[in-house]
Structure 1
Amino acid sequence: MDQRIPHSSGLQSSGAGYDSPAPLAPDLRSEDARDKPSRNDSLTAQLSTVIGGPVGDHALIGRVGFWTPMRVLFLFTVVFLALGWFSKAGCIQQTGTADGSLTLDWNNGRQYVAMCYSDTVPLYGAERLNEGAFPYKKKWVEQTPEGDRETRYMEYPVLSGLYQYAAMQVAKSWDATPLLPGALQVVIYFNVIAFGLALAWLVTVWASATLAGRRVWDAALIACSPLVIVHAFTNFDALATAFAATGLLAWARRRPVLAGVLLGLGGAAKLYPLLLLGPIVVLAMRSDPMQRTPSAHLGIRLRDVDSWDSLMLWVRETPYRTSILSSRPLGAAGLTVAAGIGTWIAVNLPILALYPTGWREFFRLNTTRHADPDSIYNVITSFTGWPGFDGNLSHAEPPTILNLVSLLVFVAACALIGYIGLTAPRRPRLAQLCFLVIAAFLLTNKVWSPQYSLWLVPLAVLALPHRRILLAWMTIDALVWVPRMFYYLGLDRKGLPEQWFTGTVIVRDVAVIALCALIVRQIYRPEEDLVRREFTDDPVAGIIDRAPDPLLPWLPAPLRPRPAPARG
């Protein structure tokens, strides 16, 4: 029964025979294509009850004036970054000494007991930044565990080293200004570093949310990741994630040169963004770069289009954008690779020319470095007593065989990922291949510093947006920090045995391998891919998005795409 509210109640007529409690908006458009997690994800639906429940059936999506999705994501990010700062705050507490001066309170292994350790704090003195020295120029002598002496320089890539130098200059300027609140220079330095890293992670969230397209709320997993609390300020890796995410965004927006520049800058901060160039090239190859003209793809000649009707039929059957762009992906990928390598060289060349020995320190240390506690090689040693490929080595003696094995295994993994990218029944999404490459690098490398896990967070969310699965992995990875800190504390101070730590590393590695397996499964079964529902191809692919996906007859038969098997 139509029980209408009388007009005398002050309600306005909607113009359709019914009354509205207020005048209707002049623009009734709704962003209905946007993913609605509160309606299609059980976990988010349960969480949404705190703020009123799932979005309504007739809600106008995308019409909020202030609390847009991006601003909500920024709010989430700031909250979790604040939690990350508080998790490190215990290591910048000051205490008095016998002579009345101030020093950091790291007594009795507090940095491990409070689990607040951050590389940025000890590096202020270890890299001689407290002396105002310029990185790569300053050198000093350290004693090795064997009692020898070695000359040392700044051990970080150029952009990370210059970032530390800039933060040191700000800290010293702050400390020299009497009107500003005072503290130990290392405390000011940490806060300056943390502020810049927080901005970098906000950029990472922004770029990733933009790349997510209609699934913008997936980026909440990046903003609210447990790994942000633990590792956002452990080291300088947020700089690299910002460049990597914006580089992929530039590629998605079809600006290949800018994409290469940003990835090259990221490679000058941490090398891993340069690895993302590989998946771009593979997918560009997959898009049939050997086609020369649209008519070659159609099997007709343009001069055969002799009337307006035949021209419209040709345009409808083969969209202009797709047919024209089909001959350009490999060229765009080449521009990106050239710009990326060129940018990396341009950033590194001045330091290399002025301070060649200091510039080489990063590469020297990575060559002579032994298996990291987090690496699979050390895990095997921990549980089996295996001495490693090179046996017992001195501090400065490089593990030559280990270096070669880890490189060859990674190259083999990349070859397998390239094979998957070329032979899958449907062209994989760029984020899927990027995640597989970075995960392979971490799993096969001799070094997996704990903060490296931040590299995987944006790529995992874009590649496999299954919220419960990702939260489970992120939680496992974040909790590895607890046994790590108590293992470093030492058994003499009631710490944990090594196997408690390496056991959790195994769980973490298995979780990452499981993510890789799920991504490979969705590559071969794209109908299970949440991103590719609702007629979406690949929002990260840029020039390759919705491009033709031919059989690549110019490739050898084993490398051509294979038709999907029929399923019942």
Structure 2
Amino acid sequence: MTRQRDVLPSSSLAVVGGPLGRHASARATSWLATVVPLLVAGAATTALSVVERAHCVQKGWNGSDQFWHACFSDLPAQYQLGNLGSGLASYVGGDGARADHPVLTGAVMAWLGGLVPDGSLLDQTRWYFALWALLGAALVVATVYLTAASRPYHAADAAHVALSPVLLLAALVSPDLFGVALASAGLWAWARRRPVVAGVLLGLAVVARTYPLLILLALVVLGVRSGRLAAVRRTLLAAAGAVAIVMLPFLVGHPSAILRSTQVWWDSAAGLGSVWMVPQLLGHPLPTGPTTLVTVVGLAVAVVAGTLFALGTDRRPTVAEVVLVLVGLSLLAGKSFPVQASLWLVPLVALYGVRWRDHLVWAGAEALHFLAVWLYVAGLSKPDRGLPAGWYAAFLLLRVASVGYLVWRVWRTASRRAPEPLPAPTPSEPGPLLDAADQDPSDPARTAVGDLDEVDEVDGEFAGAPDRLIVRLA
């Protein structure tokens, strides 16, 4: 599976000490030597995300001021409105605490709320934001590590997570990082050929953020194409078990929490970032019922399109490619597309190995929309100072086009890949990634595993399997 790669020119490395010399130790090029700086960079990016919200940390998250300074965060708002200071027991037992998020994310939010010390409301929201910032930094570091460990031969691609401008802007807008980290852990476990562990982690991810259902769908479709459904079946059973265990306490103590996020979504009008909001911005809002209907139809079309992509290319696409297409198309079809939802794509971009040029094109559109959305929301209270609705619609569509561009790049690359069978390994040579899957990524012996670009490491159980089913549309 050959991809274009855009390695930075050696002259650009001068800022961090320059390229390695001829006599550098082999340790300097080891897997850990690549990953550890990226872990530090990921933590630094999260710290910059805190700095970006310094005005709100100082003045509080109140009124339109938080929008003018682009430092809005849903975390302090949820702490106040959801009575999360009463703690985890109150949330699980239904005694007042609530969160408009899937239950596992809500439980984490309530748990952190219970750690906030007494004080003024401003001090409590500061504490809550600080606790989330610490947890967010840990989640980012974990996501960077898991991304690098999922593709140890291409560990440097984890820089797409650690250094992503999207991460800097959106990391602390909401608790989405928790679900993103769990989804990344599930993909790592699948890459390591541990389907049961992958199922448990992806099941937890589903009850933290619903989009990992698309990861499970990708595994099912690719399992059908490759004939490796036994491993997928174990993953699905483990995922179902993890979901059931998490749901059980809520079924007993707080059953309304299970469907709360779904109910909020169902009853809401078109939200910020969604293409279904454009008619409203142009003065012709869609009623809630038709908006929900077209959204459901759009999501169905996205799922069908992603499935056809997985089954119809001449050469089987990778897990990362199929998941990125499914998630990207679903975001485009969604009833809302808030700024934090773009975090879902960041690890997938890294696992796919997108070129930095394409990453920065997408991130640039995200940054413009990030500023535009807050100026538009602030302008609702002061129209003479805010961004007009028509201009916000333009930035919204620019962002949608950039995500569509990412999906198109993935689809085009996979569709143009020649249907070339993998060469059979010789008796003295291990098959691609099959015999070397459990080796230490820093072990130089791993380089004996044939052509590393022939099989994608994230494919796990699908790696090297011949196609059993291909759908031809023409």
- Shorter-chain TM band: 0.7 to 0.9
Q: 1:219 aligns with which of 158, 168, 183?
A: 158
Q: 2:75 aligns with which of 107, 120, 129?
A: 120
For the aligned residue pairs, the C-alpha RMSD in angstroms reads 2.8
Does the 8 Å contact 2:317/2:414 carry over to 1? yes
Taking the aligned partners of 1:331 and 1:541, their CA distance within structure 2 comes to 15
Does the 8 Å contact 2:94/2:254 carry over to 1? no
1:428-464, Cα deviation, whole Å (9 max, x unpaired) = 1110000001111111010112100000011012224
**1:137 CA drift (Å):** 4.6
Mapping for residues 75-86 of structure 1, pairs under 5 Å: 75-86=40-51
- The alignment status of 1:435 with 2:353, answered yes or no, reads no
1:462-515, Cα deviation, whole Å (9 max, x unpaired) = 224211111221122133111111111123461111222221111111111111
- The alignment status of 1:157 with 2:157, answered yes or no, reads no
TM-score by length of 2: 0.85
Does the 8 Å contact 1:137/1:153 carry over to 2? no
**1:342 CA drift (Å):** 2.5
Q: 2:252 aligns with which of 350, 353, 369?
A: 353
Taking the aligned partners of 2:31 and 2:191, their CA distance within structure 1 comes to 27
Count how many residue pairs are aligned between Structure 1 and Structure 2: 439
Does the 8 Å contact 2:222/2:311 carry over to 1? yes
Q: 2:114 aligns with which of 157, 161, 169?
A: 169
Aligned to 1:387: 285
Secondary structure of the residue that 1:93 maps to in structure 2?
A: helix
Taking the aligned partners of 1:277 and 1:504, their CA distance within structure 2 comes to 32
**Amino acid paired to 2:465:** A
- The alignment status of 1:540 with 2:431, answered yes or no, reads no
Higher fraction of helix: 2
Q: 2:302 aligns with which of 402, 405, 413?
A: 413
Q: Which moved more, 1:506-515 or 1:487-496?
A: 487-496
Cα gap change, 1:535/1:459 in structure 2, threshold over 3 Å: closer, same or farther? closer
Does the 8 Å contact 1:43/1:468 carry over to 2? no
Aligned to 1:208: 147
Taking the aligned partners of 2:344 and 2:280, their CA distance within structure 1 comes to 26
Does the 8 Å contact 1:48/1:54 carry over to 2? yes
Does the 8 Å contact 1:424/1:561 carry over to 2? no
Taking the aligned partners of 1:457 and 1:370, their CA distance within structure 2 comes to 27
Aligned to 1:134: 90
Aligned to 1:508: 399
**1:63 CA drift (Å):** 4.3
Aligned to 2:424: none
Does the 8 Å contact 1:136/1:154 carry over to 2? no
**1:381 CA drift (Å):** 3.3
Q: Percent identity?
A: 30
Aligned to 2:188: 249
TM-score by length of 1: 0.72
Taking the aligned partners of 1:160 and 1:276, their CA distance within structure 2 comes to 18
**Amino acid paired to 1:129:** L
Aligned to 1:111: 66
Aligned to 1:8: none
Taking the aligned partners of 2:6 and 2:29, their CA distance within structure 1 comes to 22
> Gaps (5+ residues) in structure 2?
420-449
**1:119 CA drift (Å):** 0.5
Taking the aligned partners of 1:225 and 1:92, their CA distance within structure 2 comes to 23
Larger C-alpha radius of gyration, 1 or 2?
A: 1
After TM superposition, what 4+ stretches of structure 1 lie above 6 angstroms from structure 2?
A: none
Mapping for residues 414-563 of structure 1, pairs under 5 Å: 414-490=303-379, 491-492=382-383, 494-526=385-417, 534-550=452-468, 552=469, 559=471
Does the 8 Å contact 1:483/1:496 carry over to 2? yes
> Gaps (5+ residues) in structure 1?
1-34, 95-103, 141-151, 177-181, 290-328, 392-398, 563-568
Aligned to 2:439: none
**1:561 CA drift (Å):** 9.9
Higher relative contact order (CA 8 A, sep 6+): 2
